[in-house]
Amino acid sequence: MPTTLGEWKARINDWMGEIMRDGILTDAINDAVESLWMAVMKANLSLMMGGPVTLSIAAASERQQLVSIADPSAQPNGTYVSGGSFGILVLYAAHTFVTDSGSETKLSPINGPLISAGNQYLRLSVNLPVSSGVPSTGNILGVNYYVGDAPEDLAKQNPVPVPFVNEQAIMVLGTPVVPFPQAPGPPSENTTGDDIFYIRKLEVPLTSGGFKKWEQTDIDSQLMQLMSRTIAGTSEFQNYCYDLVNMRQLEIRPATGIAFPSSRYFYVHKPRRLRYDNSTLPFFNFTSEPFIREKAMAKCHYANRDWDDSDKMEMRAAGTLLEITSSVAQMNWAKDQYIQPYMR
């Protein structure tokens, strides 16, 4: 089964018997993934659940940005290697982590000034993030490097994210640094929360060993208005309400009276719009290949104005989707004690 966007593009071209435009293929595959996600989410929400995610909420907080990838805390490694015909370079460098959709963390600490001896290339590297001693990329696709001759003039130097190879993302600047604004500057916010659809549950651990659930409501609801007029005390049993605004920002009322360093939330996962050929498609816990192929081909035929072929592939995709949702719905039966057969 194809696992990356690039592999899927090649597979669809094989099935179509022609080379489709890259943008059409990318949109068609992403549309198919989103369509499948919506259907499976309705059939069995638990398959789309993510979490628990640990969230540290400080005292007096009224707003919390949700992210899938934390901002890098260490600066990139920077050394010079022989080569080129440059004069003496004085550069500053930092990096961000990037997802399949191109969303990024904020900038790492800046390494610099990095001073060369002349006729040297700048070699930058970032180690794979480590969690509890076990290397894990999580949702990280690669690294963007931002380099400039001053900390305030950093600009992105790689057109696509630099991937991790043997747990390192390495880039050597073999050409002069592209200055800002000829190249993009660093992101102003962490946008990696683009895979969060909504919060299913938010809870905080209690010293007694239990958990207290916070109430979710609409930002303009009567309950939220009432909570906005209260002042939180220092009890861990204090009641709080929250709403997820702009898909990745928690608004909390009242402002927290104490810190909650180990709060956690469960969320409904949303597939990202894949942007790069080495981006990995979701849905490995059930058979998704036939539907994605047929739905994407229907979109491609439609783009070529092959109306009849598009309609036929849409019908095939609809039948395949019914099979998938039937099998997924079976998971809702306790311990699969009852079998609901379905036929192609």
* Full 3-state SS string of 153-184: HCEECCCCCECCECCEEEEEECCCCCCCCCCC
Does residue 69 have a pLDDT over 80? yes
Q: What mean pLDDT is reported for the chain?
A: 87
Does residue 75 have a pLDDT over 90? yes
203 strand-pairing partners: 213, 264
Which tens digit of pLDDT belongs to each residue from 121-145?
999 999 988 764 555 556 789 999 9
For residues 224 and 204, give the distance between their C-alpha atoms in angstroms, rounded to a whole number.
19
Q: What pLDDT is recorded for position 158?
A: 95
Segments making up each domain of the chain, as ranges: 1-67+193-333, 77-173
- 120-124, 143-147, 269-273, 326-330: lowest mean pLDDT where? 326-330
pTM of the model: 0.83
Which tens digit of pLDDT belongs to each residue from 146-189?
999 999 999 999 999 999 998 899 999 988 888 888 999 999 99
Q: Which residues contact 104 (CB under 8 A, 6 or more apart)?
A: 96, 97, 98, 144, 187, 190, 191, 192
Per-residue confidence at 92, pLDDT binned at 50, 70, 90? Answer: very high
Mean pLDDT for the stretch of residues 255-260: 94
Q: Which residues contact 323 (CB under 8 A, 6 or more apart)?
A: 342, 344
Distances (CA, A) of 264 to 57, 143, 253: 10, 27, 17
Q: What pLDDT is recorded for position 114?
A: 92
